[in-house]
C-alpha cells in the first residue's frame, strides 16, 4: 500500500516590481495593501484553506526583514509553519523549485505567485492531487499577454505557449500550479530562456510531453495585481466580492491577533 505524498506550499514573492515604482521603491509588491490587508495574505489563505501546513515564501533580500516582521511568528499558535528563502536575483518562476529543493523533498508542492488573488476555492484540486502537474486556466479577452493553454474537447491540455502572437485559445495559465516532487529535477534540467530565466512554461511543457499535465478551469475572479490599474481593480473586486471576508479561520485569527498586539504595543509607547 502506497502512502499519499504530503502537500507543501510555495509563494513566490521576490522580484523588483518595477511596473509599480515608486510604490515598490521601499517595500515589496506583495506587502502592498489590497483593500484591508496585505496582498501576501491572499495566496497564504488559498494554501492554508487547502490544508497546507508548511509554506515556503521566497523573497528578495532587500525586503526579507519586512516579511519576518509581519509573518515571522504570526501563525505560531495555528500549527502552520512558514519558511523563508532569499532569491538574490529573479531568474524565472521555475527557479522557486530549485531554491526550494530541500523544502520540497519527496513531497508534492502547490505554488502560487504572491501577486495573484483567486476568488475560487482551489481546495479540492490541491487536496485531491495525485501526481504529475496541474495548472489553472481562466478565459481572458487578451490571452496574448499570458501563457496560453490549448484545451481539447475532453478538457485535456494540447499545447502551452508563452505570450504567443497568435493564441490558440483564450485560456490564460494563471499563477497557481501543483506538481509532484519531480518538478525539482525538471526545473534543474531546463536551459534558461533568451531572457535568462527558467520558465514555468517549460516545466508545464515537460509534464505535457509526459502526458501528465491536467488543466482546471476557474470561473471566479482571477486578479494579477502587478500594475497600477490591476492593483486598483484588485482592491475594488476584493471589496465588492467580499474576498477578504472569506478567509480561513486560522488566517483571520492570526491577522486579528497581530493587529491587537500592535495596538497594545502602540499604547505602551504612549505611556
Query: Which DSSP helix (H) or strand (E) runs through 185?
Result: helix 183-189
Give residue 2's pLDDT.
Answer: 46
Query: Domains in the chain, ordered, with CATH?
Result: 7-135+173-270 (3.90.550.10)
User: What's the rounded Cα separation, in Å, for the pair 137 and 33?
Assistant: 26
Give residue 76's pLDDT.
Answer: 86
Cα 219 vs. chain centroid, distance in angstroms?
18
Mean pLDDT, residues 248-254 taken together: 95
User: What's the rounded Cα separation, in Å, for the pair 174 and 41?
Assistant: 18
The three-state secondary structure class of 171 is: strand
Proportion of the chain in helix, strand, coil states, percent, rounded to 5: 40, 25, 40
User: What's the rounded Cα separation, in Å, for the pair 57 and 10?
Assistant: 6
- Looking at 85-182, list the stretches that DSSP marks H as alpha helix, in order from N- to C-terminal side: 95-99, 101-104, 123-127
Q: Using one digit for the tens of pLDDT, what is the confidence trace for 158-184? A: 999 999 999 999 999 999 999 999 999
Give residue 86's pLDDT.
Answer: 95
Which residues are CB-neighbours of 36 under 8 A, at least 6 positions away? 244
Is the predicted pLDDT of residue 3 greater than 60, yes or no?
no
From residue 186, alpha-carbon distances to 76, 94, 201, 204 in Å are 34, 9, 12, 10
Give residue 261's pLDDT.
Answer: 87
The three cell numbers of residue 146 are: 499570458
pTM: 0.94
Mean pLDDT, residues 38-67 taken together: 97
The three cell numbers of residue 130 are: 495525485
| 168 torsion bin: left (phi>0), alpha (psi -120 to 50), beta (else) | alpha
Amino acid at each position: 500500500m502506497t502512502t499519499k505524498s504530503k502537500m507543501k506550499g510555495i509563494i513566490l514573492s521576490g522580484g523588483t516590481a518595477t511596473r509599480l515604482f515608486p510604490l515598490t521603491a521601499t517595500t515589496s509588491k506583495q506587502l502592498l495593501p489590497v483593500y484591508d490587508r496585505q496582498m501576501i495574505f491572499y495566496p497564504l489563505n488559498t494554501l492554508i484553506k487547502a490544508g497546507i501546513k508548511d509554506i515556503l515564501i521566497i523573497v528578495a533580500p532587500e525586503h526579507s526583514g519586512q516579511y519576518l516582521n509581519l509573518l515571522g511568528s504570526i501563525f505560531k499558535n495555528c500549527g502552520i509553519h512558514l519558511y523563508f528563502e532569499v532569491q538574490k536575483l529573479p531568474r524565472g518562476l521555475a527557479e522557486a523549485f530549485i531554491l526550494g529543493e530541500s523544502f520540497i523533498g519527496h513531497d508534492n508542492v502547490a505554488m502560487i505567485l504572491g501577486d495573484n488573488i483567486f476568488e475560487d476555492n482551489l481546495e479540492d484540486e490541491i487536496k485531491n492531487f495525485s501526481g504529475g502537474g496541474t495548472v489553472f486556466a481562466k478565459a481572458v479577452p487578451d490571452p496574448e499577454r499570458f501563457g496560453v493553454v490549448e484545451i481539447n474537447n475532453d478538457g485535456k491540455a494540447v499545447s502551452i505557449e508563452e505570450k504567443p502572437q497568435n493564441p490558440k485559445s483564450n485560456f490564460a495559465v494563471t499563477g497557481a500550479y501543483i506538481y509532484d516532487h519531480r518538478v525539482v529535477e525538471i526545473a534543474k534540467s531546463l536551459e534558461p530562456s533568451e531572457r535568462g530565466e527558467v520558465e514555468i512554461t517549460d516545466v508545464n511543457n515537460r509534464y505535457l510531453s509526459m502526458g501528465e499535465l491536467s488543466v482546471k478551469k476557474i470561473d471566479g475572479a482571477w486578479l494579477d495585481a502587478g500594475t497600477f490599474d490591476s492593483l486598483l481593480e484588485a482592491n475594488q473586486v476584493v471589496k465588492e466580492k467580499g474576498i477578504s471576508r472569506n478567509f480561513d479561520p486560522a488566517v483571520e485569527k492570526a491577522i486579528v491577533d497581530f493587529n491587537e498586539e500592535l495596538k497594545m504595543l502602540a499604547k505602551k509607547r504612549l505611556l
